[in-house]
Structures are given as C-alpha cells and as structure tokens.
Amino acid sequence: MIYSRILGTGSYLPERILTNAELEARVQTTDEWIRERTGIRQRHIAAEGETTCDISFHAAQRALEAAGVQGNEIDLVILGTTSPDIVFPSTACLLQHRIGANGCPAFDVNAACSGFMYALGIADKFIRSGSAKKALVVGAETISRVVDWNDRTTCVLFGDGAGAVVLGASEEAGILGTHMHADGGHRELLYTPVGISAGFTDGPNHGLAIHMSGNEVFKVAVKTLDAVVEETLTTHGIDKSQIDWLIPHQANLRIITATAKRLDMPMDRVIVTVDRHGNTSAASVPLALDEAVRSGRVKRGDMVLMEAFGGGFTWASALMRY
Ligand code: UT7
C-alpha cells in the first residue's frame, strides 16, 4: 500500500504587520471588540506588488529545504487560493516555473478557506494511485486585495500569508485519509460579487470585496466542523483521545475553541495562530502546521487532525500520522 507522507513544511508571512490599533483609526471598531469576538490581535499584509506567487515561492522554498528535495524532483504542484496573481496562467503554473519543476501537472484549486485542505486531499490521491511521487502542496493568499477596508465587519478579520508542504510516497502512513465537502446553496452568506464573467462595476476596485454574513457563517461553521470531525473519527475508527494535535482553520478563536471542546482537547493541544495571522483563508492550516512543526510541538509519529471551512460553502479534514 502506498501512502503520502509530509516530508517537509514551510511558510511565509509578509513583513508588514497591521495591528488592531491601526484599524481603530480607520473604521469604527476597537481592539477590545476584535480580540473578544475573534481572538485576532494583528495580521500581515502583502507589500504593494508582492503577489500570491511571490509569497508561495518563499513558503515552497522553505518546505523543499526542510524536505531535502530539489524543485526539479517535484512531479505535481497544487495550489489552493482565491487570490491568484492573474486569471491565467494559474498561480500553480507560475510557481512551478519559479521552483524549476517544469513539465509536471500544476493547477490551482479554488475552495476558498478550504483550498489547502482540498489541495492536500487531491495530492494524496495522486500519490496513493502512483500518479505522483513528490508533490508540492501550497495554500496561499493575498486576500487583503479583496477586502473592503471601509467595511468593519470584514476588514478586521483577514490577513495574507502562504504555507506549503512537500508530500512524498511512502510505505508508512502518512496521511490516513482526507474528507472533502461542498454545499453551493449558501452563496449569499459568503462571496465576492465580482469575477471574470459577472459583476464588474465602475466603483472602487471594480466592486471586488468580500461580503459575509458573519454570524450566520459562524453558526454553520461550528456545526459543519463538528460533523466533519465526527466523520473523520468514525471513518478511521479512532477515538478522540487518540488525537495528539488539532490544527484547525484559523478564522475565529471561538470557532476553534468549540471544535476543541467537542474533541475534549485542552487548548495546549490545539495550534492557534489566528491571534497573529488573522484569517489567511487557504493559507491558514499550512501556516499553522509549519509553525507547529518548527516550534517542535508536532513531532514525527503524532496523530494530527486538520480541518477547514470556508466560502462555497466548502469544508474538509485530513487525519495523519505526522
Ligand atoms: O473563514 C471563512 C469562514 N468565516 C468564518 O468562519 C467567520 C465566521 N464569523 C465570525 O467569525 C463572526 O461572526 C464575526 C467575527 C465575523 C462577527 O462576530 P459576531 O459575534 O457574530 O458579531 P455580529 O456579526 O453578530 O455583530 C455583533 C455586533 C453588531 O452590532 P449590533 O447590530 O449588535 O449593534 C455589528 O454591527 O458587532 C458589530 N460589529 C462590530 N463592532 C465593532 C461588527 N463588526 C464590528 C467591528 N467592530 N469590527
């Protein structure tokens, strides 16, 4: 049996840090409100001209170095993002050329905040089927470009960043399983009104901005993440007490705490980055994973549960022995 296994992780955060205090000066909000309702203290914002491919490249280089793998050994590149550099070529193609993996399949996955989890699930299937041996899987966003900085209900939430893993074929697990879902019936709760074939306006930024009914999304997110965690445990026949680490999507500390409670996990077994990164959409899980690995918390052999929920709605999980 072939499994896929994470050989190395990497991440990158843009230099510029945007604090809650700076947002207080911009919209009618307070540091206290943001911290109490979301857990966020600050977020990183890409520099002018710094693209999703640029930040992905830094994260990819670090993951390749950690894995001891050269760019030209990679035979699959999948990149989860909702903020690609340009419409086409895909950001995965741009990145593939930057790392020197030309020739292998490379494509983006748009599953909003679940983008990395979807990319990981697809790459796992490529490797299990023998179609790839070494995959670069990235979650990266310059989501700040899609934020309406005058809308206090969304602009305090999001941040930019990139996370990457190198997956390799292995006889030893590895990723034990991934679960991916979507329900396109809730578009109006979380969406951007502008795309290529719909929605351009003459207004600022051509009308491109995240619209979110936060409170309703919150309720669906908590319920749905409960369900996918349950599905993951049941499918793999493992008890919640066997999970060493929860690496959740970092949208809101209250959502993270609810999932941890459901798993009876103390918060020191949960990787939290939302306080410093905000919601980096598809980048949030791989950023948290890299931080957990590099800080020495997640170690080889640990049982790790990752999950994400986002626009679509999309939601996904992965269970692995790191
Ligand atoms: O990653 C993709 C999935 N996204 C998520 O999972 C996000 C899910 N949603 C959330 O995280 C939370 O719903 C939010 C953090 C977005 C909002 O928190 P909430 O506790 O659900 O607040 P709310 O939307 O019910 O708003 C409560 C009040 C409202 O005022 P009124 O109507 O009670 O007078 C808002 O207008 O807070 C107000 N408000 C703010 N006040 C100060 C909304 N945004 C702000 C703000 N500063 N930035």
> What residues contact residue 250 under an 8 Å CB cut-off, 6+ apart?
256, 272, 273, 274, 277, 278, 279, 280, 284, 285, 287, 288
72 carries an active-site annotation: no
Which pLDDT score is estimated for 200? 84
Low-confidence residues of the chain, pLDDT below 50? none
Question: Which of ligand 1's atoms lies nearest the C-alpha of 281?
Answer: 1
205 touches 150 (CB < 8 A)? no
Which pLDDT score is estimated for 71? 98
Which pLDDT score is estimated for 206? 84
User: Does 20 contact ligand 1 (Cβ within 6 A)?
Assistant: no
Q: Which of these is catalytic: 110, 113, 155, 252? A: 113
Tens-digit pLDDT profile for residues 227-255? 999 999 999 999 999 999 999 999 999 99
> What residues contact residue 143 under an 8 Å CB cut-off, 6+ apart?
82, 83, 158, 159, 160, 210, 279, 280, 281
pTM equals 0.98
Q: Is the dihedral of CA 140, 142, 148, 153 positive or negative?
A: positive
Which pLDDT score is estimated for 183? 98
Q: Is the dihedral of CA 285, 229, 312, 127 positive or negative?
A: positive
